[in-house]
Structures are given as structure tokens and as C-alpha cells.
């Protein structure tokens, strides 16, 4: 399998490499909160010797309700992410939703992310691939909830065809639709996607979502099973995940997006230490 590198940051992901931590906020709320979360997670990962990438979304375009909080938007959001990068000297991961966002996002983000629902949108995938490759970043593509893991070969092929065969794609498992308002994670999917010659991460946060099933809003927002995040993360690392994608908040119940799926920030050290140990044991 290809080992991918962010040379500027001395980070590598793939077989034989340390567990990569892509973690932060679900969505940007304000600059202070972004700084607080980045500061804490950088300190934790530095102590553990784990490579760290700060993640936060500038816009959550896929919302259950038009009234749901979406974020500060492209311009202000990228300014906030750039400030985090400058203040804490950490690489940045964020997602995009429109073709026109590819160039400005790739100029700030070291890892550009394609949301699961958009992973088959050819124009978006091609634009993001070309912009990210030009900027020297990595492309993190979430497997759609409706795709079999082996069907991701078409996504990988599109990216290579758009960039003259370049290898810079990471695939992400985030659960598959299972009946109504539910997702499951097939741990065998991680190995199937790795057969495509790419590193694979686990998005343990979104894998515990219950789409359209938040009892507090009568289905106008997504529910979640916060206690399941660590279970899925630990199982996936044992199954061979090269990285973990996690979202934290100092007060999860007050998070402005997907509060039922994010973890308390003060629990990051214990969980990441456990994941590091599992990675070492499974090597």
C-alpha cells in the first residue's frame, strides 16, 4: 500500500506509520473555541507522539433543517483555520461542497475532505483533486453511506485520472445506511478499501449518527450515540485503520452541530492513549 506524506509537516500515513489523528470541531463556532480545542489536542497528541491535524468545517451544507447552524462560511471560516495553523503550527483539514471552493480551500487546508454524500460528484472530485494535488496536500474522501467499500475503486480512479496518476488519496469509513435512521460499521470494509492501495481512516464520530433522529427536535436534526464513538474507534484501529477522525467540544451538549455525536474535550487524552496502544498491539 502507498504511504502518503505531508512533507512540510513530517507526517506520513499508511502501513507501518504511527496512527494519524485528524481531530477538532465539527464546525467552526468562534475563533476562541477553535484555539482552545487546537491547543488542547496538540498538547495531548504531542505528549503521546502522535501526528496531529486540526479539523473543523467552515460550512455544514448537509443539514436536516434550513434553520440548523451551518458555520461562518467560506471566507471567514478559512481565515479562522489559517489563524489556527499560524498560531499552533499544525496542518489543517476541512471539507468543501462546491467546485468553486476547491482552489481557496486547498490553499489553506493540507487535507481537503470530500463529504460522504458528495463522493460520487465527478466535477467536485476532479476539482478538489486537481487543486489539492497542485497545492501539495492530501485528499480525504469519505465513503458514502450507500456505497460498498470495493466500489470506492471508481473514486480512486477518478482522482488518478484527473491528476496524471498521482497517489494522494485517503479513504474514510463512516458507516453504512442500515434500515431507517441508523448506520453500521463493517470492520471488514477497512481491509477492502486498503486493497485499493490507499490509506484508510475511521470517522468514528459520524459513524454513530442517527440521521434525522434527534428526539429533542422531532427529527429536525441528527441524533447520535456518543458512547459508541470510542467503541468504533478502538475496533477500527484494531482492524487496521491508519488514522482516526474525531470531533470534540468542551461542552458537547452545547455544540452547535451534531452535539449527540461529539466527545468531551477532556476525554481526548485517555481515548487517544488507548488507540495508540491498540495500534501498537495490532501491528
Query: What kind of fold does domain 4-282 have according to CATH?
Result: TIM Barrel (3.20.20)
Among 249, 259, 242, 243, CA closest to 56: 249
Among 101, 91, 193, CA closest to 152: 193
User: For the chain, where are the E strands, in sequence order?
Assistant: 4-6, 11-13, 20-27, 52-57, 92-95, 111-114, 138-142, 169-173, 176-177, 183-184, 200-203, 209-210, 223-224, 243-249, 263-264
0.85 surpassed by pTM: yes
Concerning whether 182 is annotated as a catalytic residue, the answer is: no
User: Alpha carbon of 36 to those of 39, 89, 147: distances in Å?
Assistant: 5, 14, 36
pLDDT digits (tens, 9 = 90+) for 63-97: 666 777 788 999 999 999 999 999 999 999 999 99
pLDDT digits (tens, 9 = 90+) for 192-251: 999 999 999 999 998 887 765 455 555 444 566 889 999 999 999 999 999 999 999 999
Break the chain into its structural domains and give their ranges. Answer: 4-282
Q: Which of 59, 203, 242, 258 is catalytic?
A: 258
Q: Which of 42, 60, 234, 276 is catalytic?
A: 60
pLDDT digits (tens, 9 = 90+) for 116-168: 999 999 999 999 999 999 999 999 999 999 999 999 999 999 999 999 999 99
Concerning whether 242 is annotated as a catalytic residue, the answer is: no
Concerning whether 10 is annotated as a catalytic residue, the answer is: no
Amino acid at each position: 500500500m502507498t504511504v502518503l506524506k505531508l512533507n512540510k509537516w513530517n507526517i506520513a500515513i499508511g502501513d507501518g506509520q504511527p496512527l494519524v489523528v485528524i481531530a477538532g470541531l465539527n464546525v467552526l463556532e468562534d475563533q476562541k473555541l477553535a484555539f482552545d480545542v487546537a491547543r488542547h489536542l496538540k498538547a495531548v497528541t504531542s505528549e503521546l507522539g502522535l501526528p496531529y491535524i486540526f479539523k473543523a468545517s467552515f460550512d455544514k451544507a448537509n443539514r436536516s433543517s434550513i434553520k440548523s447552524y451551518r458555520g461562518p462560511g467560506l471566507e471567514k471560516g478559512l481565515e479562522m483555520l489559517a489563524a489556527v495553523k499560524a498560531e499552533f503550527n499544525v496542518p489543517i483539514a476541512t471539507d468543501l461542497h462546491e467546485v468553486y471552493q476547491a482552489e481557496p480551500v486547498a490553499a489553506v487546508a493540507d487535507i481537503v475532505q470530500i463529504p460522504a454524500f458528495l463522493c460520487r460528484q465527478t466535477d467536485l472530485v476532479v476539482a478538489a483533486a486537481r487543486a489539492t494535488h497542485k497545492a501539495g496536500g492530501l485528499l480525504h474522501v469519505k465513503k458514502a453511506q450507500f456505497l460498498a467499500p470495493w466500489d470506492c475503486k471508481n473514486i480512486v480512479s477518478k482522482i488518478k485520472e484527473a491528476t496524471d496518476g498521482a497517489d494522494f488519496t485517503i479513504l474514510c469509513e463512516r458507516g453504512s445506511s442500515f434500515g431507517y435512521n441508523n448506520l453500521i460499521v463493517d470492520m471488514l470494509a477497512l481491509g477492502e478499501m486498503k486493497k485499493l492501495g490507499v490509506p484508510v481512516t475511521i470517522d468514528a464520530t459520524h459513524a454513530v449518527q442517527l440521521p434525522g433522529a434527534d428526539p429533542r427536535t422531532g427529527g429536525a436534526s441528527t441524533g447520535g450515540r456518543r458512547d459508541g464513538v470510542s467503541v468504533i474507534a478502538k475496533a477500527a484501529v484494531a482492524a487496521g485503520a491508519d488514522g482516526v477522525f474525531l470531533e470534540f467540544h468542551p461542552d458537547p451538549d452545547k455544540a452547535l452541530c451534531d452535539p449527540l455525536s461529539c466527545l468531551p474535550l477532556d476525554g481526548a487524552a485517555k481515548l487517544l492513549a488507548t488507540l495508540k496502544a491498540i495500534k501498537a498491539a495490532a501491528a
